[in-house]
């Protein structure tokens, strides 16, 4: 298992690289972890994980934890509940199972997600507003050169199912023969 604190010289605008990388073919970490920036995981990690930056679960990585992060990239396997304020990306080889709460989830072709997704920022729904009631306006009978046309309303018709499959319909007019 190898731990590496890597900080390369980047521009003064605050751009940084992953601070902590955990690699190990047979390494298993269990516990509560708080990471101040970003982390790459290429081993098995269990427990609870809080990341102030981005979590990247590499190809051989398996994370079984509740995670709070800004962004997540899942290349390996993830099981648990995740809350990410930024993007969650499940790559082609990524497998995620559990509940994810984010405003942006991207699943690449081949990636697998099994669970529930919910938004962090709920859409505002005005429950007090009711839709306007539909109104039917009755139009006067149409007249053309002193000929009165028949004027029907929906209540003048009845629909009867002529067969049990429900596809053939007979329409009858209670006032006039059709």
Tens of each residue's pLDDT in the chain, 178 residues: 444 444 444 444 555 555 677 777 788 889 999 998 899 999 999 999 999 999 999 999 999 999 999 999 999 999 999 999 999 999 999 999 999 999 999 999 999 999 999 998 865 444 445 555 555 555 555 555 555 555 544 444 444 444 444 444 444 555 555 5
Q: Which of 90, 19, 87 is nearest to 57 (CA)?
A: 90
128-142 per-position pLDDT tens digit: 455 555 555 555 555
Residue 13 lies in a domain: yes
Q: What are phi and psi of 135, to 5 degrees?
A: -125, 145
Task: Identify whether 160 is part of a domain.
Answer: no
- Give residue 23's domain range: 2-118
Distance CA 154, CA 76 (A): 60
Please indicate, yes or no, if residue 176 is contained in any of the structural domains.
Answer: no
- Would you state the torsion angle of the CA atoms of residues 136, 138, 144, 145, taken in this order, to the nearest 10 degrees? -170
pTM of the model: 0.60
Does residue 125 lie in a domain region? no
The pLDDT of residue 114? 96
What's the total number of domains in the chain? 1
Domain membership of residue 11 (yes or no) is yes
């Amino acid at each position: 298992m190898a731990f590496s604190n890597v900080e390369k010289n980047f521009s003064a605008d605050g751009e940084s690289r992953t601070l902590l990388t955990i690699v190990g073919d047979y390494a298993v970490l269990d516990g509560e972890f708080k990471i101040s920036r970003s982390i790459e995981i290429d081993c098995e990690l269990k427990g609870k994980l809080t990341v102030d930056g981005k979590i990247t679960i590499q190809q051989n990585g398996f994370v079984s934890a509740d995670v709070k992060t800004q962004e997540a990239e899942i290349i390996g396997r993830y099981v648990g509940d995740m809350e990410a304020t930024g993007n969650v990306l499940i790559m082609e080889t990524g497998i995620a199972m559990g509940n994810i709460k984010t405003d942006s989830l991207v699943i690449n072709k081949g990636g697998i997600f099994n669970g529930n997704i919910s938004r962090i920022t709920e859409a505002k729904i005005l429950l007090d507003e009711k839709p306007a009631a539909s109104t039917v306006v009755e139009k006067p009978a149409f007249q053309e050169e002193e000929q009165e046309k028949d004027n029907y309303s929906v209540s003048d018709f009845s629909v009867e199912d002529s067969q049990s499959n429900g596809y053939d319909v007979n329409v009858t007019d209670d006032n006039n023969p059709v």
